[in-house]
Amino acid sequence: MLITNIKALIGLHLKDTLVLRGNNLDHLPILENAWLLIEDGLIKDFGKMDSIPSHISNLSSHISAEGRYIFPSWCDSHTHIVFAASREEEFAMKIQGKSYEEIAAAGGGILNSANKLQKASEDELFESASLRLKQMILQGTGAVEIKSGYGLTTQSEIKMLRVIRRLKDQFPIPIKATFLAAHAYPAEFKNNHQGYIDLIINEMLPQIAEEKLADYIDVFCEKGFFSVEETDQVLKAGAKYGLKPKVHANQLSVSGAVEVSVQNSAISVDHLEESNEETIRTLRNADTIVTLLPSCSFYLGIPFADAKNFIKANLPVALATDYNPGSTPSGNMNFVVSLACIKMKMFPEQAINAATLNGAAAMEMSEDYGSIAVGKKANLFITKPMPSIAYLPYSFGEMQIETVILNGEIYNG
Ligand SMILES: N=CN[C@@H](CCC(=O)O)C(=O)O
Ligand SMILES: [Zn+2]
């Protein structure tokens, strides 16, 4: 596939640039008035229109992208898209002023989703998750991480992870699976935390490892959920099976979650709506990626993470949706990028880098995804005609994507 007359190619980081820390996020390399050649699903070459080689310009099948930009696909490194039912009843409670913790304590929240998921069949879950994923891809997402964590029994956690494996097999984008049984304590373990942790460690993990169902392990480390010590136990048990941590940290309070995650060599710490100087000091000496989820803050009405401070401290910031039925019923990365600019005061270049290359890094796939470089996978999108790059986050809630290309082929859903 040859694409010509491209207004600009965006995100031309060198292939060996795998993550962007601090000020490096400011720089979004572009090439104006460009052509792009894709072969065998990979980016084969690109250049300026005024120096297009004749053997390329003579290729018969090509798309003209006049006035349009080409971006690397969004890389959404934090989602919970396998769930049985939406939770609009909690929406009304939120509007009345109930907090996330109050709703959970009243029988809503994660346990509500777990109840419903336990009753759903693998096929039903696969069908509904497929619809969500299709929609996300049409909104520009070309790589995704998906968590379990609404099963909370051995059977249902495995059911969720098998659904994720089917999605991996059937969708044309790379998917990473994260095991999140430590998402909430089931009611029967409310007063027996160690009993549930033992179940995770001695029963769930061995079976999941045996079937190779997970790439990562996650814990919701938070007051009322999993303590720092409990998180440490689960992460260490996961490490025995080669599962690296990606941790829900500091969503509602500064809890020591970041510290325990870094001690366990976490790939990422996610949320961080609450943080302090200690959090930043801990992260400064680590490779752990800071994944921010602004649409969760938007929906729950909790503080937005202090992205500017993290960037100032030279940390690698990524952006993801957190798509789930409780705190973020949206998988739209365009909106995440808009919110990052509007509410967290990230510049468009920073937000785009954080939602592409650093998102890929938070799934350990930035060698192949997240930027436009020769030899990388051709997962891209072509915008509608736009006046500038900043127009994409500026025009929040509007759809600026016209064509999605995955593995070098147009994707129509
Ligand atoms: N905080 C924990 N997990 C999800 C919400 C899960 C739910 O409410 O169902 C999150 O990342 O926001
Ligand atoms: Zn989450």
How far, in Å, CA of 40 to CA of 4, rounded?
Answer: 18
3-state SS, 173-240, equals: CCEEEEEEEECCCCHHHCCCHHHHHHHHHHHHHHHHHHCCCCCEEEEEECCCCECHHHHHHHHHHHHH
Residue 233 Cβ inside 6 Å of ligand 1? The answer reads no
Give the three-state DSSP class for 128: helix
Is-contact 249 258, C-beta < 8 A? yes
Q: Which atom from ligand 1 is nearest to the alpha carbon of 300?
A: 12
Q: How many Cβ atoms from other residues are within 10 Å of residue 151's Cβ?
A: 25
**Cα(44) to centroid(ligand 1), Å:** 40
Tokens standing for residue 143: 């790589």
H or E stretch including 142? strand 141-147
How far, in Å, CA of 325 to CA of 303, rounded?
Answer: 19
What's residue 104's pLDDT? 84
Domains of the chain, earliest start first: 2-72+370-411 (2.30.40.10), 75-361 (3.20.20.140)
> What's the first-to-final CA gap in the chain, in angstroms?
19
Mean pLDDT by 10 residues, the chain (413 residues): 97 97 98 97 97 85 93 98 95 90 86 96 98 98 98 98 98 98 96 98 98 98 96 98 98 95 98 96 96 97 97 98 97 98 98 99 98 98 98 98 98 94
The pair phi, psi for residue 125, each rounded to 5°, is -65, -40
Give the three-state DSSP class for 394: helix
The DSSP line for 235-260 is HHHHHHTTPEEEEEESSSS--SHHHH
Non-local (6+) Cβ contacts of 174 within 8 A are 143, 144, 363, 365, 368, 369
**Cα(137) to centroid(ligand 1), Å:** 22
How far, in Å, CA of 27 to CA of 352, rounded?
Answer: 10
How far, in Å, CA of 259 to CA of 301, rounded?
Answer: 26
Closest CA to 373 of 2, 40, 7, 16: 16
Residue 226 Cβ inside 6 Å of ligand 1? The answer reads no
**Cα(80) to centroid(ligand 2), Å:** 6
What's residue 101's pLDDT? 84
Residue 248 Cβ inside 6 Å of ligand 1? The answer reads yes
Pocket-testing residue among 185, 226, 248, ligand 1, by greatest number of atoms within 8 A of Cβ: 248
Pocket-testing residue among 81, 98, 183, 323, ligand 1, by greatest number of atoms within 8 A of Cβ: 183
H or E stretch including 310? helix 307-312
What's residue 137's pLDDT? 98
Work out the burial of residue 198: count CB atoms within 10 Å of its CB; fewer than 13 is exposed, 13-18 middle, 19 or more buried: middle
Residue 324 Cβ inside 6 Å of ligand 1? The answer reads yes
Pocket-testing residue among 80, 148, 297, ligand 1, by greatest number of atoms within 8 A of Cβ: 80
List the residue whose alpha carbon is closest to atom 10 of ligand 1: 327
List the residue whose alpha carbon is closest to atom 8 of ligand 1: 326
Identify the nearest ligand to the CA of 85 by its number. Answer: 1
What's residue 105's pLDDT? 82
Residue 139 Cβ inside 6 Å of ligand 1? The answer reads no
Q: Is 281 annotated as a binding residue?
A: no
Tokens standing for residue 168: 């991996």
Task: Write out the residues surrounding ion ligand 2, Cβ under 5 A.
Answer: 322
ipTM over 0.95: yes
Residue 110 Cβ inside 6 Å of ligand 1? The answer reads yes
Non-local (6+) Cβ contacts of 297 within 8 A are 273, 303, 304, 305, 339, 343
Q: How many Cβ atoms from other residues are within 10 Å of residue 215's Cβ?
A: 20
Tokens 């490779």 sit on residue: 287
